[in-house]
Amino acid sequence: MPRYKLIIEYDGTGYYGWQDQRNGRSVQEAIEGAVTAFSGETRRVQAAGRTDSGVHATHQVVHVDLEREWPHGTIRDAMNAYLKGQGAAVLNVRPVADSFDARFSARKRHYVYRIVNRRPPVVLEKHRAWHVKWPINPALMQAGADQLIGQHDFTTFRAAECQAASPVKTLERLEIVANGEDIRVYASARSFLHHQVRSMVGSLILVATGKWTPKELRDALDACDRSRCGPMAPPDGLYLIGVDYEGADAAL
């Protein structure tokens, strides 16, 4: 039974997150529907990351097993025909070894959080970025971000419903890139806790707007107490932008 690796892009605005659930349409449901539409098979697909409701992806990775081999372009084009108008698209398809697992073979995940920092309302970027009206100091924001880089107990930035076995994670990158009113927060780690990126960004905004000092952010981290977290950033600005694999699994 051949296994395929798919690169998926989607607008999370109209979805209740990646994972199948009862209260609304998920990205997983849309992708699995596309697989059934072209192959006639009912298959589960496994993703590298379970994005929340309203969160987007430019490079989600999934794998799926099919009964027979298909031309890569046929899988891509047939699935995209089904997905037309649904806010999701298959960018690339290739066969992989049976040992490849989109989730468990991943070595690093990359996210970006987008912020539009201006007083006037956001129109074109609505549902694509967080509109922050108050002036942001990028240098202060980076000073706060520096307090979070490395291996820590991230309980403060962990959702109550998080199912991770341990709150200890190693944050390899948390970088603020500002270009005028466009501010982006890049985060990279092998894995993240549920709501970790959005929780960190919400607290970083408190530092960036002068409500917290970088030390107060570090104190909140060290407290390992969810009640010490700042307000969580909305899902609109968060994007899964890459997943790293090793060896043959790394090829697109």
Q: What pLDDT band is residue 163 in, cutting at 50, 70 and 90?
A: confident
**In the chain, domain spans:** 3-105, 108-242
Q: What pLDDT band is residue 162 in, cutting at 50, 70 and 90?
A: confident
Cβ density class 27-62: b for 16+ within 10 Å, e for less: bbbbbbebbeebbeeeeebebbbbbbbbbbbebbbb
CA distance 123 to 217: 32
Catalytic, out of 11, 52, 236, 244? 52
CA distance 208 to 230: 12
The answer to whether 168 touches 152, Cβ cutoff 8 Å, is yes
pLDDT tens string 57-81: 999 999 999 999 999 999 999 999 9
Note the pLDDT of residue 251. Answer: 77
The answer to whether 194 touches 163, Cβ cutoff 8 Å, is yes
Instruction: Give yes or no on whether 3-105 and 108-242 have one common fold.
Output: yes
Write out the E strands in 11-68: 46-47, 56-65
Phi, psi of 175, rounded to the nearest 5 degrees? -120, 135
Q: Is 29 helix (H, G, I), strand (E, B) or coil?
A: helix
61 Cβ neighbours under 8 A, 6+ residues apart = 5, 6, 7, 8, 47, 48, 102, 106, 243, 245
Q: Which CATH architecture has domain 108-242?
A: 2-Layer Sandwich (3.30)
Q: Which CATH architecture has domain 3-105?
A: 2-Layer Sandwich (3.30)
Mean pLDDT of the chain: 95
CA distance 172 to 170: 6
The answer to whether 215 touches 170, Cβ cutoff 8 Å, is no
Residue 252 has pLDDT above 80, yes or no: no
Residue 4 has pLDDT above 90, yes or no: yes
Among the listed residues 69, 64, 75, 74, the one whose alpha carbon sits nearest the alpha carbon of residue 98: 64
The question of whether 52 is a catalytic residue gets the answer: yes
